[in-house]
Amino acid sequence: MKSSTFDFEEERLIDELKRRAAKRVLIQLPEGLKPQGPRLAKTVEKTGAVAIVSADPCYGACDLTLQEAESLGADLIVHFGHTPIVSGSKHERIPILYMEAKATFSLKPAVRKALPLLKAWKHVGLTATVQHAEKINEAKQLLLDSGKIVAVGDTGRLRYAGQVIGCDYSNAHAIMKNVDAFLFVGGGRFHALGVALTTSKPTVVADPYELRAYSVDDEAQKIRKQRWASIQKALESKAFGVLIGLKSGQRLLETTFQIRDRLEKAGKKTTLLAIHEVTPESLMQYPTLDAYVNTACPRISLDDPTKFHKPVLTINEAQVVAGELTWEQLLKEGWFED
């Protein structure tokens, strides 16, 4: 069965639940798909299983409801809208069924709107979210027909060629030296800004939901300036909190220890803080700390830095503070671990 916009593969869902003999199922959906929760719960209940919909925010496959499922006695998590993190850690204590919720419509109208914005560049890199990754060849063919030379990265770290997720832009990074600009196919600015910050290349969005196209270059430049200001302030800071993410796919213990050691070698004092949700309110509880390094989701630091009262650096930015990277190298390498 299909909704008007996404294919939720409900026949496959029912078959999987019967095959697994699931008795209690926790359904997890990202924000844009949450309205489908009640309907999908009814689908699950057709198999005789108890369906529970997680009402908490869901930011990606790094944010699985493992502890919640355990506490609820669920024997299966059905996670919609994302693919597994190939390079991430395994989560075997509760089985997870990934349902991608692929878009059911053509990308061509939105890509056509983007073509005039790409006229200055011959070599174009192409990226998309998982909902559109299987149809990325539609966009590629339109670009080829318009005379572009098109590159689509495929590092193997994500399920599909050209796919990007909130913290992994390896498919864009892999081809950035071979292109003049990028076209991102998907909704909103979130992923397109990630492409722009990773590659420092002009980036155009083809939004198939709103049927419009636009550049994110001005916004990306604004973020770069904000990040430089945060780094400058952090360079003057003496005491750092190094944040250990507690979400399932954001727990980078070894990286956290390495960052701590690098900062202390650079003469900074550090405190390790384990945290599930990084919010301004939670960080305000530590007035003796001057700045923070976030080893969990890097987008927390990048997307709205003004909400934090003190600098909250990404891992790569912390390397600038530690003297291991220059600002110029950060601009070249990007804000995301590769």
Q: Report the alpha-carbon distance of residue 147 to residue 178 in Å, rounded.
A: 16
Give the integer Cα–Cα distance in Å for 134 and 296.
Answer: 29
* pLDDT (0 to 100) of residue 31: 87
* Letter string b/e over residues 107-123, b meaning 16 or more CB atoms within 10 A of that residue's CB: beebbebbbebbeebee
**Rounded CA gap, 28 and 66, in Å?**
11
Phi, psi dihedrals of residue 105, rounded to the nearest 5°: -115, 165
What integer pLDDT is reported at residue 194 of this predicted model? Answer: 94
Among the listed residues 188, 153, 151, 181, the one whose alpha carbon sits nearest the alpha carbon of residue 169: 153
Q: pTM value? A: 0.88
Superfamily of the domain at 108-215? Diphthamide synthesis DPH1/DPH2 domain 2 (3.40.50.11850)
Q: Residue 238 burial by CB count (10 A; 0-12/13-18/19+): exposed, middle or buried?
A: exposed
User: Selecting from 3.30.390.50, 3.40.50.11840, 3.40.50.150, 3.40.250.10, what CATH number does the domain 6-102 have?
Assistant: 3.40.50.11840
**In the chain, which stretches have pLDDT less than 50?**
1-3, 87-89
d(CA 103, CA 266): 48
Distance between CA 308 and CA 195 in Å, rounded?
Answer: 23
Q: What is the pLDDT of residues 261-303, one digit of tens each?
A: 999 999 999 999 999 889 999 999 999 999 999 998 888 888 8
pLDDT computed for residue 87 by the predictor? 46
DSSP class of residue 60? Answer: S
pLDDT at 306: 82
Q: Please tell me if the domain spanning 6-102 has the same topology as the one spanning 108-215.
A: yes
Instruction: Identify whether the C-beta of residue 110 lies closer than 8 Å to the C-beta of residue 206.
Output: yes
CATH number for the segment(s) 224-333: 3.40.50.11860
Phi/psi for 292 (5° steps) reads -135, 155
Give domain limits for the chain: 6-102, 108-215, 224-333
pLDDT at site 337: 67
